[in-house]
Amino acid sequence: MSWRIPLFKIFWDQEDVSSITESIKLGMYWTEGPNVENFEKKISEYIGTKYCVTFNSGTSALHTSLISYDIKKEDEVIVPSFTFIATANAPLFVGAKPVFADIEMDTFGLNPEDVNEKITNKTKAIIPVHYGGCPCNIKALREIAEDNKLILIEDAAEAFGAKIGKEKIGTFGNSSMFSFCQNKIITTGEGGAITTNSKDIYTKLKLIHSQGRAEIKDYFFSTNTADYVGLGYNFRMSNIIASLGLSQISKADKLIERRRNNSKYLNSKLKDRNIKFINPPKDYFNVYQLYSIRIDKALRNKLMDYLKRKGIMTKIYFFPVHKTHFYKNVLGYNCNLEVTETISEEIITLPMFPSLSKSQIDIISREIKNFFLEIE
Ligand SMILES: Cc1ncc(COP(=O)(O)O)c(C=O)c1O
């Protein structure tokens, strides 16, 4: 379906086209190559960590990070249910059990109190999510992780460039994951990364994401025989894709500024309606990968249908993971997550992207206003 206003639009420019064209024209280094290393360096510089490893998706990045911390069968990992399913699936990939904790009303991120209550002697890690680019209460969660000697892995898939004060999201956890899927802050189509300050974890990530192959510089051009020192996968990002990452990251701040300006304008247009907004503390720098509002649950689906008829795309981010067929019926989850369930019944994600124009925002807000007038 072609939308009058889509939910997201990829921002790309001539620099992206030139960058990827050049890497194709090289005629070599289509798999591993110097762009990958450069992109990893740029990401760690931008986020402020010592190390970064890129991946072919955020999901494979999360999977690899759980392996690198030796999380396995019998272990429990605390995750939100108000997230994309990959967050909860990651523990399952290594045979561990995802344990759902509830979220906070203000940030839609994990509630530290509920996380505390969900800790058992089997808990190994916590994976908080920074919802739609809004930081969660990561400082409190870090304290809980430290007090209980748990691994903290930030799922920052949606939060590239988000900050608390001057500290970037992606620097709080033992490791943090970013996604470069097409609707994210910067994108390579598919792609992901892990940032960390641990040399040990960095080394493990490098091995696991590339067949467990003991490092040979330029494997494809080397006559040396490789040795394999552990079980590994092919979760690598290609050199062609990394060239797109390099041109995208060079404009990250501009893309974030546009999202924030658009969100500010949309906030101002929707104010005074029967609408609730995400409401993080003042020093939380939201990068608005998603722009979500909450309205009365009895009206939510009606508003979505109304906007659909007007050609404006909306979506529910997120339906709780514990209520999906897989978790409920196949895995047998039956949880009581009050805030998660309330928010997911009220949430509606509106269009948000860097090139969203003022006139498009005017249309969105006018149609929402018309909807409320119509039902009065
Ligand atoms: C919160 C969250 N976690 C994990 C992922 C998985 O990332 P990817 O789609 O790059 O595998 C996503 C992406 O949609 C996400 O939004």
Give pLDDT tens digits for 328-366. 999 999 999 999 999 999 999 999 999 999 999 999 999
Quote the mean pLDDT of the chain: 97
Q: Please tell me the total number of residues recorded for the chain in this structure.
A: 376
Cα-based distances in Å from 324 to 294, 317, 347, 356: 21, 13, 17, 32
Nearest to 132 by CA among 153, 110, 157, 154: 157
pTM of the model: 0.98
Residue 306 pLDDT level (bands cut at 50, 70, 90)? very high
What residues does CATH 3.90.1150.10 cover in the chain?
A: 252-375
Percent of the chain with pLDDT over 90: 95
Whether residue 127 is predicted with pLDDT greater than 80 in this model: the reply is yes
Looking at the chain, the domain(s) classified CATH 3.40.640.10 span 14-249
pLDDT of residue 62 exceeding 90, the answer is yes
Residue 59 Cα: closest atom of ligand 1 = 11
Distance of CA 203 from the midpoint of ligand 1 (Å): 23
Read off the pLDDT band of 218 (50, 70, 90): confident
Question: Ligand 1 centre from 43 Cα, in Å?
Answer: 17
Mean pLDDT for 195-206 is 98
- Of ligand 1's atoms, which has the minimum distance to the CA of residue 179? 10
Query: Is the CB–ligand 1 distance for residue 57 below 6 Å?
Result: yes
Percent of the chain clearing pLDDT 70 (strictly above): 99
Helices (H), 175-222: 199-208
Average pLDDT over residues 60-70: 98
Nearest Cα neighbor of 315 from 342, 276, 352 is 352
Distance, in Å, from the CA atom of 3 to the CA atom of 68, rounded to the nearest integer, reads 42
Average pLDDT over residues 21-39: 96
Residue 120: both structure tokens together: 């058992």
Instruction: State which amino acid sits at residue 4.
Output: R
Question: Domain 14-249 is of which CATH architecture?
Answer: 3-Layer(aba) Sandwich (3.40)
Residue 215: the pLDDT is 74
Q: 342 C-alpha vs ligand 1 centroid, how far in Å?
A: 23
Distance (angstroms) between ligand 1 centre and the Cα of 124 equals 21
Residue 30 has pLDDT above 80, yes or no: yes
CB 171 within 8 A of CB 140: no
CA 202/CA 196 separation, integer angstroms: 7
80 lines ligand 1 (CB under 6 A): no
- C-alpha 160 to ligand 1 mean position (Å): 12
CATH of 252-375, one of 1.20.1250.20, 3.90.1150.10, 3.30.70.1140, 3.30.470.30: 3.90.1150.10
* Strand intervals (E) in 197-260: none
Mean pLDDT, range 231-241, rounded to an integer: 98
Would you place residue 35 in the very low, low, confident or very high pLDDT band (cuts 50, 70, 90)? very high
User: What is the distance in A from the centroid of ligand 1 to the CA of 86?
Assistant: 6
**Ligand 1: does its nearest atom lie under 6 Å from the Cβ of 86?**
yes
pLDDT at 376 over 90: no
Confidence of residue 240 (pLDDT cuts 50, 70, 90): very high
What pLDDT is stored for residue 57 in this prediction? 98
pLDDT of residue 98: 98
Q: Which protein residue has the closest C-alpha to ligand 1 atom 7?
A: 58
Q: How far is the CA of 272 from the centre of ligand 1 (A)?
A: 33
The pair of three-digit structure tokens given for residue 221, joined into one six-digit string: 């051009």
DSSP state letter for 323: G
Q: In this structure, are residues 197 and 51 in contact, taking their beta carbons and an 8 Å threshold?
A: yes
Choose which residue among 129, 179, 237, 290 to substitute to test ligand 1 binding: the one with the highest number of ligand atoms within 8 A of its C-beta.
179
Task: Please determine, for residue 20, whether its predicted confidence score (pLDDT) is greater than 90.
Answer: yes
pLDDT, position 50: 98
Query: For 204-209, what is the mean pLDDT?
Result: 98
Tell me the C-alpha distance between 106 and 219, whole Å: 48
User: Is residue 165's pLDDT more than 90?
Assistant: yes
* pLDDT value of position 274: 85
Closest CA to 368 of 297, 312, 330: 312
